[in-house]
Chains A and B, each alone.
Chain A
Amino acid sequence: AQSVTQLGSHVSVSEGALVLLRCNYSSSVPPYLFWYVQYPNQGLQLLLKYTSAATLVKGINGFEAEFKKSETSFHLTKPSAHMSDAAEYFCAVTHAGGTSYGKLTFGQGTILTVHP
């Protein structure tokens, strides 16, 4: 079984401040982890993914995430928030092998608000 917990359904930051969105996962096998972003009334867009290569993963729009196995975490960060970063962010987990490979389990989502 696999699961994802995103800590904080809403996060608010000032423009130019650090963005930190938290994600903890549970998986009985080595996981693959993803961060997606969703703008209102649109689908999800991939920000970055961890697939057992480098533990620090860089994505689009200046975002990055670090896989920490000991903490079962995959937190998303960006050094300096921009107004255009305001959106909902989803962490998701899956794993290789078995009959359920490729099935993503999503967290509840975190809505990021950026204040001028």
Chain B
Amino acid sequence: DGGITQSPKYLFRKEGQNVTLSCEQNLNHDAMYWYRQDPGQGLRLIYYSQIVNDFQKGDIAEGYSVSREKKESFPLTVTSAQKNPTAFYLCASSRADRGNQPQHFGDGTRLSIL
């Protein structure tokens, strides 16, 4: 079945450590997105990519970095500069048409501080 796979499901970060969250899709979608979810705040866009080797900052990109070397993969690195990384992180993908295509979501990675 086609879908989006996020790993790991749970992740713990130590002080000063960078951690990378994996996101892989086999839906042949051009666009991919990373969101952060905090209780009562909905989803906030971190980064998005509409094509391989290109990506744009979202609303809360500080302390995060991404790469898009392959169409299927869009890993997110939470750097030590992100002082409050504890959250639920969701990856999504969609066809990059005129914006009317729904986004498909993975099952998320929950990041906590040790």
Q: Which residues in A have some Cβ–Cβ distance to B below 8 Å? A: 9, 32, 34, 36, 41-46, 49, 51-52, 90, 94-97, 101-104, 106-109
Is A42 touching B108 in the complex (CB atoms < 8 A)? Answer: yes
What are the residues of chain B within 8 A of A44 when measuring CB–CB?
A: 43, 90, 92, 103, 105
Closest A residue to B88 by beta carbon equals A41
Is B42 touching A102 in the complex (CB atoms < 8 A)? Answer: no
Closest B residue to A39 by beta carbon equals B107
Is B40 touching A32 in the complex (CB atoms < 8 A)? Answer: no
A-contact 0/1 string along B72-94, CB 8 Å cutoff: 00000000000000000010101
Name B29-49 residues within 8 Å CB distance of A.
31, 33, 40-45, 48
Most buried by A among B97, B103, B106: B103
B67: min CB distance to chain A, Å: 20
Is B42 touching A43 in the complex (CB atoms < 8 A)? Answer: no
Is B99 touching A43 in the complex (CB atoms < 8 A)? Answer: no
A10: min CB distance to chain B, Å: 10
What are the residues of chain A within 8 A of B104 when measuring CB–CB?
A: 46
Is A32 touching B108 in the complex (CB atoms < 8 A)? Answer: no
**How many residues of chain B are within 8 Å of chain A by beta carbon?**
30
Most buried by B among A46, A52, A104: A104
Is A101 touching B106 in the complex (CB atoms < 8 A)? Answer: no
Q: Which residues in B have some Cβ–Cβ distance to A below 8 Å? A: 4, 6, 31, 33, 40-45, 48, 50, 58, 90, 92, 94, 96-108, 110
Other-chain residue from B4, B43, B100, B110 in contact with A41 (beta carbon distance below 8 A): B110
A104–B59 Cα distance when bound, in Å, is 11
B46: min CB distance to chain A, Å: 12
If the complex has contacts A90-B42, A104-B45, A108-B40, are A97 and B98 also in contact, measured as CB distance less than 8 A?
yes
